[in-house]
Structure 1
Amino acid sequence: MSEVIDAVESPQQAARRLSAPARRDGFEPEALHPYTDDAGNALFWRIRLKHPDGSKWIRPMRRTADGTGYEIGEPSAPAAGKPLYNLRAIAAHPDAAVIVTEGEKAADALGKLGLIATTSGGASSANAADWAPLASRRVLIWPDHDEPGAQYGREVAARLLALGSTIAVIDVAALGLPPKADAWDWWKARPQTTAAEVLALAALPVLPAAPLANAANLANAERHSQHSQLPPLPVPQALERACALVMPQTEGSDAPYPLGALGPLAAAAAALAEGAQVSPAMAGQSLLAAAALLVQGAANVRTLSGHAAPLSLYALTIAQSGDGKDTADRPALRPIHDFQREAGQRHAEAMQAYEEAKSRRKKNDPPPDPPGPAPYRIAADLTIEGMRRSFAEGVSAQGVFSTEAGAVLAGHAMTPENRTKTAASLCGLWDRGHLSVVRAGGGRTERYGVRLSAHLLIQPAALGDVMGDEVLSGIGFWPRFLLAWPAPLAPRVFKPWRPEHSPDMLRYWADCKRLLSRPLPDDCDPLPVVELDAQAAQRMAGFFEDMEREGRQGGLRDVQPFALRATEQACRIAGVLTCFAGAEGIDDQAAAWGAALAAHSLDNWQAALSGKADPTPGRALTLYRWLVERVGWVALKDIPRIGPSCLRSADRRNDALDRLEALGLVEFDGQNVKAQGVDHARR
């Protein structure tokens, strides 16, 4: 990628430059979709490439802050939401029916017939868009022929009903389209079709009485009713609605998960993904995190910088409810849970014998030998106190695994008051295997040579404001996580599958048991160090230079902290795979695996954070939560003084309050403010 951006570079030239790495990987250009305002002024673009194997590469492109060039990313979304596609055509034809499709490619196909077509983007983009331009219009929704498409259609309909639009939905089942097909596929098969024929397609009317399914849909319908009274909800549902209203909705990456880069875990991951019908990314993350939990107590890894680092990994997987988080995680962790059950029973018996020996001990008898630490490898929780107790009483290498990580990220450990301390402790464990805890009542715990790996699986709606939290980003918390955000699953078929009948899963479990049979040291710092061989070091050096160039001057500037840490992530992944396979050193193949998986995570982070540049939504949601806790009126002047730390200035307070007021989430009384839409009697 060029390090100097030509000031007169066209959007088409910029798209070619920014997509060069993907084109080198075999992706072929399909389109450059411009998003404009209703006057036709360009706001941003979406680059679309497709691989011969069917996978897609879709990225937003915006102008740089100084206006002299282009970069990957979207501009900050207005409070009302992201703009729709083809706004100029919508505004120019106020009496025409508008067709809503899932994706720009389908909208362009209908546009070639002279129809007015628009979209908000991908299947999960409806809730983040500003649908006001379609208020009171006649709208025909053409969903893709799969469950994510149907869900997109329902979400769009809910938004438009609240705006007084007249809506019908194309009955895609009646069109005879294959699964996943869309308006583009229909048009491609019928190149001679006319606009009138499209408008005459079988459609199902959507009546204004259609119910809104959940708090998020309720939020969508209310987003444009700024001055209406929000119906009071119990506190948890009110906070969920506020999150849906305030926070920009993001999507993961369309990049395929590099399953083959899992090396010794690849066959088991493929078997798990196919048998359990979960995404390859979810299967891969589950197995990789479990492998890290097991090998972090056996070795350390020499990174490219020369220091010995823990083989610990933190993984974050974002997936919709029903996409198989438990289904993937249970088989990955089964041998560890089996080991804990058996070892825990033996430890309990040893503790009982120890207590009995102490009770029988006579005055001059030597004290009985206490049993070793509790053998549990999976820690109980992610709070600082929980980690302190777990490492004080347990083994030196542990893991935090949760398929309902929303409870973790919304719990006590990650409240605005505790986030920095919790994140700093987790960063210290990832960096050096060092846990330092100063207790409020006095006393200090210093634990060296410990190891912690983690895999947090979470639904997008449960992310709240933590992903865009500027404090967490500033201290490098999220860049230490490997992210996978796979696309929602297509409808599954009934297919009984038992992992114990899979030869690949049995081999994986056998490898896990081999590693579990090794005793853990009290101190993991002096463990053997897995080294990069010459070719592996050369490959990692090239990866490092790519990340430096792209992170500081190229297309990864918007995720620079992630890019600059990607090489260490790659070394750790390569070390985990090497040790899990029982090899002694990292060769070029393992280095390539590590780089591929680190790059995939970086790709997902870039897609996920492309709309997170504006910190105001996160601050607004933090303020709303704080106001909800106060129950009644709060003086405006008190917010910078005693409110959340991210709002300790009047400007930040005012920006957050403006956002909340625009959405009807707060009420003012002179110099006081309180949260709206909360039934405090129902918690």
Structure 2
Amino acid sequence: MATMTAPPTKRTIYQYCNPDGTHYCEVVRTDKPDGDKDCCTLPAGLDGPHPLYRAERPAALPATTPIYIVEGEKCVHALEDVGLVAVTSKGGSKSAHKTDWSPLSQFRQAYILPDNDDPGRKYAQDVVNILADLPGQREAIVCELPGLPEKGDVFDFLQDHSIEDLMQAIMEYGRPAIHSNIATLAGPSEPVTLLRKVPEAEPYPASALGAELAGVVEAMAEYTAVPLAMAGQSILGAVALAVQPHGNLKIDGRISPASLFCMTVAQTGDRKTAVDAVALFPHREWVREEMAYYEAEEREYKVAMRAYNAAMKKAESKKTREEISAAIKQVGEEPEKPLAPTLIVGNMTAEGLHKLINEALPYCGVFSDEAGTLIGGYAMSRDQILNTLSDFSQLWNANGNPRTRAGAGLTQTFGKRVSMHLMCQPDVASILFSQRIAHEQGFLPRVLPVWPKTLRGTRMYKRGDLTQNKYVQTYNAKIKRILQISPEYFDERCHYLSPHSVVLSPEAFELWIEFHNRIEGQNAPGGPLDCIYGWACKAAEHAGRIACVLSLYDDLGTAVISEQHMIQGVTLAEYYLNEMFRVHAQSEQNEAVLIANSLLEFMQNKASEVENVFKSEYLLQYGPNKIRDAVSLQETLLLLKDMGIVEPVVGPGKKWRLK
């Protein structure tokens, strides 16, 4: 009989370095033939705190880089092999507290991938609590990878799965860290929430709008007591609405409309209506004046149509085909219907919007200070969301593809322009951001988002008439002059716009290319911007569009974007990039977690009324709509139970209570 040969002993040396790259120690791991392992440290006797394994890497990375925290050096290398940034602590699952985790304080997101055993889960919780005590704010996601054997880890997972499988598993199985940890960052008096806290925003770069518009924004923020970002967003969207029919951005032959899709997330009472009223005041004044002319033209049109129809009826009464044809030709063309000055529309379906710009002015703006009726309405229902988002994306591109729908008929986006500013509440925004299809289809990557912190509690009344501010008066007059200038059209009936091209100056082009390449370099799979890769892919176009809008505002006839305007465009695009990254956690929010959070809030609000004992029948009858069936309720309660937030009440009947 042949003698069986035991597998050889394997020895691996891991070099630990301090964050500055200097040597700290070596950990020697010995894998034995029987599957056991030994680890020793050279030199021995180090008290700690120890540096993280690979602590030298994070020091050179931007704060937007996702950090993956695992148990064991082997797992770190497994993740590095697929392009991710990973760290672990020295000494195994019981030694997290002996490590210096401060190099991670600069980073905004951490993914913790525990081993599949109780020590691994305990280690993950220890790490979560340590991260919560670090300065700054970040989101932490704990993901127990599916299909692992007992004591399995991410190294084992990657033996049979790709990096794409790992990212999908994290998206599906990752849960926000809860309880005494990073997801809530709540004080002892605050109720628990499952929703990830949005970190503080960067200061809004109002100066990048140019001195004139910056003056308007600062005055609006001061006298209406709104965040600077909200005022800036309203003004930028309003300017785009006015200039979009007059110019196109042109880069190496590629045409992009000077249209912008903006979104502001703010709470009820944060004065969304007030700030939008200031930004759109000159537009609404122009519409009121134009409406008087339109009504007179409409009356003349109706008279002309009656005469036309009577003449056609008489022509069609001729006896022979030839006589009818001759008589119809003699009647002439049908009177031209005047175009209604529908410059601003509120909550409208994409189908209605397509129909509007094909029957009224070929340019308009969707501006709504209560966009919840659009985002949470029929247009965004399960059956309609793909069509709605595709239609909006097509309008942003204005690529000229014809479109046929039963309600609107055959419509065309060629020669049409639409800008947008949707203002909505955080819970409404979460509905949109939680729709993966909104990212994958491309609608959210086309949006410029701001999510400023509320100023409630600090808005002391300030006397003053904003309409008398010199910057506001200049803005109102200038916007009105722009709107009074008729755009160029392809056709005599003014159905299709023909905006002139605006190209980049050589200096502006160099800046644009540098920005494009810098963002692209961070947008590789697993790279710092991978989590918002769709928006990052369009970052350079956003910068160009913003620069084009600001150039046209300063000089409506300009054909060249200057270096200064491109600096402004890049500065604002970088701000919006940070904003999208800052709130991207909302886009990855699992729908089950959103439903569980709504049930949790309901139970927190009603706990005193029912003495913290909730019968299932009570929750089914009075709870959130999403859990009004027994299966959904049970699944949601079990999820909250797994998170350690609720527990069943012992006794007859199905009862639950908050822990």
Give the TM bin, normalised by the shorter chain: 0.5 to 0.7
1:555 equivalenced with 2:528 (yes/no): yes
Tell me the TM-score normalised to structure 1 length: 0.61
Superimposed CA distance per residue, residues 659-679 of structure 1 (whole angstroms, 9 cap, x where no aligned partner): 48869999xxxxxxxxx99xx
Residue in 1 aligned with 2:178?
130
Contact residue 196 and residue 585 of structure 2 kept, 8 A: no
Unaligned runs of 5+ in 1: 1-5, 23-33, 49-57, 68-81, 91-100, 107-127, 135-150, 160-219, 221-244, 637-652, 667-675, 678-683
Structure 1 pair 614/550, CA: closer, same or farther in 2 (3 Å)?
same
Matches within 5 A, 1:284-683: 284-303=232-251, 306-359=253-306, 363=311, 369-434=335-400, 436-440=402-406, 443-489=409-455, 491-520=458-487, 521=489, 522=494, 526-552=498-524, 554-582=527-555, 583-610=558-585, 612-613=587-588, 615=590, 617=592, 659=639
Contact residue 505 and residue 560 of structure 2 kept, 8 A: yes
Give the Å deviation of 1:320.
2.3
Give the Å deviation of 1:464.
3.4
Contact residue 64 and residue 581 of structure 2 kept, 8 A: no
Residue in 1 aligned with 2:110?
62
Structure 1 pair 632/577, CA: closer, same or farther in 2 (3 Å)?
closer
SS for the counterpart of 2:561 is: coil
SS for the counterpart of 1:495 is: coil
Superimposed CA distance per residue, residues 69-96 of structure 1 (whole angstroms, 9 cap, x where no aligned partner): xxxxxxxxxxxxx979983799xxxxxx
- Which shifted more, 544-553 or 344-353? 344-353
Contact residue 433 and residue 452 of structure 1 kept, 8 A: no
- Matched to 1:571, the amino acid is G
Superimposed CA distance per residue, residues 388-447 of structure 1 (whole angstroms, 9 cap, x where no aligned partner): 331132111111011112222111111122111111111111113547543357954334
Structure 1 pair 451/622, CA: closer, same or farther in 2 (3 Å)?
farther
Contact residue 515 and residue 570 of structure 2 kept, 8 A: yes
Distance 2:383 2:595 in 1: 15
Contact residue 43 and residue 62 of structure 1 kept, 8 A: no
Superimposed CA distance per residue, residues 489-534 of structure 1 (whole angstroms, 9 cap, x where no aligned partner): 2601111232211000111111101110122433656421100010
- Matched to 1:372, the amino acid is P
Residue in 2 aligned with 1:17?
60
Distance 1:38 1:340 in 2: 69
Contact residue 501 and residue 559 of structure 2 kept, 8 A: no
1:282 equivalenced with 2:242 (yes/no): no
Distance 1:612 1:635 in 2: 26
Distance 1:413 1:38 in 2: 52
Contact residue 37 and residue 43 of structure 1 kept, 8 A: no
- Matched to 2:59, the amino acid is R
Contact residue 85 and residue 104 of structure 1 kept, 8 A: no
Structure 1 pair 10/385, CA: closer, same or farther in 2 (3 Å)?
same
SS for the counterpart of 1:381 is: coil
Structure 1 pair 538/321, CA: closer, same or farther in 2 (3 Å)?
same
- Quote the sequence identity (%): 25
Contact residue 241 and residue 364 of structure 2 kept, 8 A: yes
Matches within 5 A, 1:82-231: 87=129, 104=135, 130-131=178-179, 156-159=188-191, 220=192
SS for the counterpart of 2:347 is: coil
Give the Å deviation of 1:630.
9.7
Unaligned runs of 5+ in 2: 1-20, 22-50, 66-88, 116-123, 138-175, 315-330, 600-619, 647-655
Residue in 2 aligned with 1:265?
213
SS for the counterpart of 1:278 is: coil
Distance 1:623 1:494 in 2: 35
Tell me the TM-score normalised to structure 2 length: 0.63
Distance 2:253 2:597 in 1: 41
Contact residue 570 and residue 598 of structure 1 kept, 8 A: yes
Superimposed CA distance per residue, residues 435-477 of structure 1 (whole angstroms, 9 cap, x where no aligned partner): 7543357954334221111011122122233202211111121
SS for the counterpart of 1:130 is: coil
Distance 2:126 2:202 in 1: 24
Contact residue 128 and residue 181 of structure 2 kept, 8 A: no
Contact residue 266 and residue 423 of structure 2 kept, 8 A: yes
Give the Å deviation of 1:485.
1.5
Give the Å deviation of 1:275.
2.5
Structure 1 pair 269/441, CA: closer, same or farther in 2 (3 Å)?
closer
Distance 2:574 2:544 in 1: 12
Contact residue 562 and residue 602 of structure 1 kept, 8 A: yes
SS for the counterpart of 1:301 is: strand
Superimposed CA distance per residue, residues 555-599 of structure 1 (whole angstroms, 9 cap, x where no aligned partner): 222222211210000000000000010043101111111111111
Give the Å deviation of 1:617.
3.5
- Matched to 1:488, the amino acid is T
Contact residue 354 and residue 368 of structure 1 kept, 8 A: no
- Matched to 2:503, the amino acid is E
Give the Å deviation of 1:371.
3.9
Distance 1:478 1:663 in 2: 30
SS for the counterpart of 1:573 is: helix
Distance 1:322 1:61 in 2: 30
Distance 1:471 1:567 in 2: 23
- Matched to 2:364, the amino acid is Q
Residue in 2 aligned with 1:141?
none
Structure 1 pair 443/665, CA: closer, same or farther in 2 (3 Å)?
farther
Structure 1 pair 439/321, CA: closer, same or farther in 2 (3 Å)?
same
Structure 1 pair 278/14, CA: closer, same or farther in 2 (3 Å)?
farther
SS for the counterpart of 2:541 is: helix
Structure 1 pair 404/291, CA: closer, same or farther in 2 (3 Å)?
same
Distance 2:305 2:202 in 1: 60
SS for the counterpart of 1:254 is: coil
Q: Note the aligned Cα RMSD (angstroms).
A: 4.6
Give the Å deviation of 1:255.
1.0
Distance 1:289 1:573 in 2: 10
- Matched to 1:375, the amino acid is P
Distance 1:44 1:352 in 2: 75
Give the Å deviation of 1:60.
1.7
Distance 1:449 1:660 in 2: 52
Superimposed CA distance per residue, residues 632-660 of structure 1 (whole angstroms, 9 cap, x where no aligned partner): 76899xxxxxxxxxxxxxxxx99989648
Distance 2:217 2:564 in 1: 18
Structure 1 pair 469/37, CA: closer, same or farther in 2 (3 Å)?
farther
Superimposed CA distance per residue, residues 307-339 of structure 1 (whole angstroms, 9 cap, x where no aligned partner): 011111001111222222122211110011111
Contact residue 437 and residue 444 of structure 1 kept, 8 A: yes
Contact residue 258 and residue 545 of structure 2 kept, 8 A: yes
- Which shifted more, 538-547 or 581-590? 581-590
- Count residues with an aligned counterpart: 480
Superimposed CA distance per residue, residues 596-622 of structure 1 (whole angstroms, 9 cap, x where no aligned partner): 111111101111114654645479689
Distance 2:300 2:103 in 1: 67
